Amino acid sequence: MLLPWEYGVRNLARRPVRTALTLVALATVVMLVFVVVGFIRGLEKSLAVSGDPQVVLVYSVNAEQNIENSSIAARTPDLLTASLDGVQKRFGVTHVSPEMYLGTRIKTRDGDAGLGLVRGVTRTAPLVRRGVKIVAGSWPGPGQVLVGRLAYAKLGSRSESLTIGQTVEFEGKTWTISGLFVAGGAAYESEIWCNLAEFQTATKRQDISLAAILMAPGASASRVQLFCKERTDLELRAIVETDYYAALQQHYKPVRLLAWFVVVLVSSAGIFAGLNMMYGAVAGRVREIATLQAIGFRRRAVLLSLVQEGLLLSAAASLLSGFIALVLLNGMAVRFTMGAFTLRIDSVAILVGCGVGLALGILGALPPALKALRASVAISLKAV
């Protein structure tokens, strides 16, 4: 015969302070798990959506995986357009975007200054970067910039500092914000875009960093790679944009592994804390447990009731943390070396967080309950 369901529920209410403290402790552990898993999922999502399989990036072979270090001749896009078949062309406009990409110190009007990412672009950029959408304002004119949704996070500033009409300073020039853009969570969202020619003038450079090419449907990126191999004098390399970000995923693999390790550490710490708490809770109830056995309840029934208590508490903590994580953490901007991304409390994060929470309840309750049940009923009844 099992103990009534209400018995476990009422037991929790009989010790409100202990129950509340345990709930807070469990909720904190689950919240930490949500933060770390949300970080990992946000980083993965940002890199996964950054890249279009039809876009090929052409940049300096000496830059390896870091486009910021790339420097190629400004005539390269024209050379590519003239030499290659298969580049997307509509209404007489070839979809090739020459870009200068630079990490530079940016100062907002509020006085916040941080290292930001600036991309000098032309009007062909939105034709190639098809995920980019202007959500407010307009395309930048002379002396103006277009600001990504997460650029403020990359600068370590407030979102209010980068609104339309505000100014920012970089490369010795003041720029007015003409518009805001989003890119579906891609890495561009932490960038500031301005006119390429103006950016070249401001930086006193004549080169560009890369040429992004949108290939026509069915056209292969291999032709661009072959062109780069044949023109060894140009020292170019070509890579499909999705492959570039996949390589970055590999680059950040140690960070992700470390983050998962933190999840394991936090969970382990939580389980030990739970064990400690449950040992204390069960130790104070030795006589009660023995009495239940004396009046005829089997050990298994008492064990199940104790696990039920732990599980109820941890489920409540998981729900509480899940709610807070979804409301407060989800979408929170995080600054990172490659730009910025948002914490992502998605189905995987919910599953891992709540799974850890429920595991805390079960694993924390089992050992102390087993220990209490192993003791002799007669001795336990006399326990003080």
Partner 1 sequence: MKLLNWTVAVALATIVGCGQTPSSDTAQEPAPPAASEYLVETEPVDAVPVGEARQSVSDAQAVTLVGTIGGSSEPFVDGLAAFTIVDPNVPYCAADEGCPTPWDYCCTQDQVKDNIATVKVVDASGNPVAADARKLLQVKELSTVVVKGTATRDEQGNLTVAANEVFVRPGK
What does the binding site for partner 1 look like in residue numbers (CB under 8 A)? Answer: 61, 64, 220-223, 225-226, 229-233, 237
Angstrom distance (rounded) from CA 16 to CA 328: 27
Query: Nearest 5°: phi and psi at 56?
Result: -115, 130
Shortest distance, position 228 Cβ to partner 1, whole Å: 9
Helix (H, G, I), strand (E, B) or coil at 383: coil
For partner 1, give the closer residue by CB, 226 or 379.
Answer: 226
For partner 1, give the closer residue by CB, 119 or 237.
Answer: 237
For partner 1, give the closer residue by CB, 223 or 287.
Answer: 223
Shortest distance, position 230 Cβ to partner 1, whole Å: 5
Angstrom distance (rounded) from CA 148 to CA 184: 11
Shortest distance, position 229 Cβ to partner 1, whole Å: 5
Angstrom distance (rounded) from CA 185 to CA 49: 7
For partner 1, give the closer residue by CB, 216 or 226.
Answer: 226
Shortest distance, position 306 Cβ to partner 1, whole Å: 35
What residues does 180 pair with on adjacent strands?
136, 147
Shortest distance, position 207 Cβ to partner 1, whole Å: 18
Place of tokens 């401001």: 202
For partner 1, give the closer residue by CB, 240 or 369.
Answer: 240
What residues does 145 pair with on adjacent strands?
177, 194
Angstrom distance (rounded) from CA 343 to CA 41: 7
Q: Can you give the length of the chain in residues? A: 384
For partner 1, give the closer residue by CB, 6 or 85.
Answer: 85
For partner 1, give the closer residue by CB, 9 or 247.
Answer: 247
Joined together, the tokens standing for residue 111 give 């006085």
Distance from the first to the final alpha carbon of the chain: 28
Shortest distance, position 49 Cβ to partner 1, whole Å: 23
Angstrom distance (rounded) from CA 75 to CA 260: 45
The closest alpha carbon to 343, from 330, 357, 353, 355, belongs to 330
The closest alpha carbon to 216, from 91, 87, 55, 125, belongs to 87
Shortest distance, position 268 Cβ to partner 1, whole Å: 35
DSSP 87: B
Other C-beta atoms within 10 Å of 170: how many?
21
345 sits in the region (left: phi over 0; alpha: psi -120 to 50; else beta) called beta
Other C-beta atoms within 10 Å of 37: how many?
26
Shortest distance, position 231 Cβ to partner 1, whole Å: 6
For partner 1, give the closer residue by CB, 242 or 291.
Answer: 242
